Structure 1
Amino acid sequence: MHPNPQYRPRQEDLPALFVREIAFAGIFAGTPDGPRVAHAPVVLSEDAATLQFHLSRGNGLTKHLDGMTALAVVQGPDAYVSAGWYAAADQVPTWNYIAIEMEGPVRKLDDAELIAQLDTLSAEHEARIGIDPPWTRAKMNPARFSQMTGAITGFELRITAWRSTLKLSQDKAPGERESVAAGIEASGHGALAHLMRQLGEEGKSA
């Protein structure tokens, strides 16, 4: 997490919105085999108190996670910021980015909880892509579905700490911020430029 308090989200619900929108995280933990990270789709609970995910049984984290404290990191759009985009002299290049960290103890899910997680995950993302009718596991042979779920393990991280960084040039004057947003947009990172401008408008009305 960046130490500058200007890069903290003002809206309390913003980190959860990013987690739900991006829905993919790196899961980090120390293990007897050394530090490990796994990458997985995630489901944030409605009250933003827990984060569920599943891993292959062969993943280096799977056999260790139950009962451990882990760190989940969801990363949003990011882009290089050229010092040449600033009107002011004596600037240096930097990087704008969004990163949401969630820390907490992890427990293993039982089979019913794992299936519920998979149903929720597919329902949410089928709705996003707009397939009609959406895919559901009812389209699968139950024996094949059971075989495939037997190859993964579900987990739930109970979130005891959120640490969020939205580094979007908040430390710059509005004109400099727009110059950076324009440069980022021109370099092919329109989503990040949009977020910079949106954050700037919210700052004006705060």
Structure 2
Amino acid sequence: MRQNPSFALTDVAELRRLVESNPWATLVSATDDGLVASHYAVLLDDERDDLTIVGHVGKPDDLIHDLGERELLVVVQGPHGYISPGWYGDGPSVPTWNFVSAHLTGVPQILAPDENLAVLDRLVARFESGMPEPRLLWERPNDPDYITRLERGTVGFRLTPTRVVAKRKLSQNRSDDVVETIIAELEGGRSPYADPRLAGEMRRDLDTRRAAR
């Protein structure tokens, strides 16, 4: 992500929506042995209204990251995709990549076992809720001994970011007509780059900017 102010995303409500809609995150630490990256699902802390997130890592990733001892960078990636210059109309132009992304940095707090269990319970419920027959954490055939062993193999964390860098780059520097064309191509065009989720983000952004004029 280019470290400049262009297309900066600072609205906390929109950042929370980004995290909620895109829970699969990349965790990055700079350790004495070099950079380390892992991938885990995270959730917004349901007791806070800021950008505090909760999650877990499987052991031994807690040791590999020195979790709780140093800064952790959590990268949340929203919809993204290739934008062809052919969608701009006539005139000189080059391709670009539209995206929504946030970098949340801070030193995480390690959760107690009961807190970690609550987070694991929420994670399962979050993703099972859309299934025809949800299998929740505490339901059979799981039993308390199994769930206790499961928790002991993980380390939960809570991270309140002390630094946030986020961007929403969605062709805001183009005219409304061009943005409408790009949205149409992403929604149902014949190219291999069609992506309704990215089109939805662009539509949301365009409608918001129009309403503010």
**Structure 1 length-normalised TM:** 0.90
CA contact (8 A) 1:36 1:61 kept: no
Q: 2:67 aligns with which of 65, 68, 77?
A: 65
Identity of aligned residues (%): 29
| Residues 10 and 152 of structure 1, relative CA distance in 2, 3 Å threshold | closer
Matched with 2:7 is 7
Per mean C-alpha deviation after superposition, the further-off stretch among 114-123 and 72-81 is: 114-123
Aligned-partner Cα distance in 2 for 1:27–1:130: 27
Q: Which amino acid aligns with 1:136?
A: L
Q: Which amino acid aligns with 1:34?
A: G
CA contact (8 A) 1:2 1:165 kept: no
Matches within 5 A, 1:1-206: 1-3=1-3, 5-9=5-9, 11-45=11-45, 46-59=48-61, 62=64, 64-127=66-129, 129-131=130-132, 135-139=136-140, 140-185=142-187, 186=189, 187-206=193-212
- Aligned residue pair count: 205
Aligned-partner Cα distance in 1 for 2:22–2:95: 27
Deviation at 1:131, TM superposition (A): 4.0
Aligned-partner Cα distance in 2 for 1:117–1:180: 39
**Secondary structure, aligned partner of 2:149:** helix
Aligned-partner Cα distance in 1 for 2:51–2:88: 41
Which stretches in structure 1 are left out of the alignment for 5+ residues? none
Higher normalized helix content (fraction of residues): 1
Which stretches in structure 2 are left out of the alignment for 5+ residues? none
Q: Which amino acid aligns with 1:137?
A: W
Per mean C-alpha deviation after superposition, the further-off stretch among 39-48 and 56-65 is: 56-65
**Secondary structure, aligned partner of 1:64:** coil
Moved over 3 A (4+): 1-6, 9-12, 60-63, 130-134
**Secondary structure, aligned partner of 1:7:** coil
Per mean C-alpha deviation after superposition, the further-off stretch among 61-70 and 173-182 is: 61-70
**Structure 2 length-normalised TM:** 0.87
Aligned-partner Cα distance in 2 for 1:38–1:69: 14
Aligned-partner Cα distance in 1 for 2:16–2:100: 13
Note the aligned Cα RMSD (angstroms). 2.0
